[in-house]
Homo-oligomer: A and B are copies of this chain.
């Protein structure tokens, strides 16, 4: 017989821009917010009785209203605020998950009211709240990095389908997709999330640059451990690193050598290296990664 398993529902990708005006010097926060609620949802699935269902339209309205009432500081604080509101105010909602993406802008010259979208990575976070406890994962995606040297790949396993030559010098490039779990998210909103973000981002960039790499896995592990070293509140780091292959072009047919100078940047297929680095004493993750 069929039974209902895990489920959740919400409003995905609400695009909210919050402007703050301090005299002529304005500030903008540009977010994409996705909310997901779960709880006493058996009836709506079985019979279509919506009495436990706070509409996704209401969730969207709440995002806009909270942006006004509370302002938008660090996205982690905004996500926690929303998660707590939904689970604390709706009797049938026992768990809220709020994901926020932040799109970066820079000032356009000296003008206080004019901005240019910065192309830097997207900053992300996911907050969970179950009526008692909170979990927060911060992260980033689309941080594209490339090393022109200090990367080798050799000594790998070989079988009858292996044709790849070994190399002692290659371009290493990836689009970093990283997330890090905060050990102490339940202790309230007193954290300096922005500072933690800059620390983690800096650690990822530095470790990518200064690790002499024998494999992308080694670089991944170095990036994860560096985040743990730089961010005391972080207990676990997850990384997904596509190997954005830059193939050395064979110019020999044209009488030219190519000593690491001309590369073809390929689209697909690509290597994909995924891994986790965590503290030995990391607390259980609970729903943090869901």
Q: A11-B269, A13-B268, A242-B12 are in contact. Are A145 and B115 (CB under 8 A)?
A: yes
Q: A105-B146, A115-B146, A209-B114 are in contact. Are A163 and B253 (CB under 8 A)?
A: yes
Of chain B, the residue at the smallest CB distance from A34 is B272
One of B58, B60, B205 near A108 (C-beta < 8 A) = B205
A228 touches B2 (CB 8 A): yes
* Interface of chain A, main secondary structure: mixed
A17 touches B171 (CB 8 A): yes
A109 touches B205 (CB 8 A): yes
A101 to B146, CA, bound (A): 19
B89 touches A11 (CB 8 A): no
A117 to B143, CA, bound (A): 7
Shortest C-beta distance, A123 to chain B (Å), equals 12
A130 contacts chain B at the CB level, 8 A cutoff = no
A224 contacts chain B at the CB level, 8 A cutoff = yes
Of chain B, the residue at the smallest CB distance from A45 is B221
Shortest C-beta distance, A5 to chain B (Å), equals 3
A229 to B19, CA, bound (A): 33
B117 touches A146 (CB 8 A): yes
> Which A50-107 residues have C-beta < 8 A from chain B?
50-58, 60-62, 64-65, 67-69, 89-90, 92, 104-105
A205 to B113, CA, bound (A): 13
A159 touches B54 (CB 8 A): yes
B56 touches A5 (CB 8 A): no
Q: A44-B215, A44-B218, A262-B16 are in contact. Are A9 and B57 (CB under 8 A)?
A: no
24 A/B residue pairs, CB under 8 Å, sorted by A: A2-B278, A2-B280, A5-B276, A9-B271, A11-B269, A14-B269, A15-B269, A17-B262, A19-B261, A21-B261, A44-B218, A47-B218, A50-B215, A51-B155, A54-B156, A54-B158, A55-B156, A55-B162, A56-B271, A56-B272, A68-B261, A89-B159, A119-B119, A160-B254
**Additional 17 contacts, C-beta under 8 A, given A3-B278, A46-B221:** A2-B280, A8-B275, A16-B263, A16-B264, A16-B265, A17-B264, A19-B261, A20-B261, A48-B213, A48-B214, A48-B217, A50-B215, A52-B157, A61-B254, A111-B209, A113-B147, A116-B144
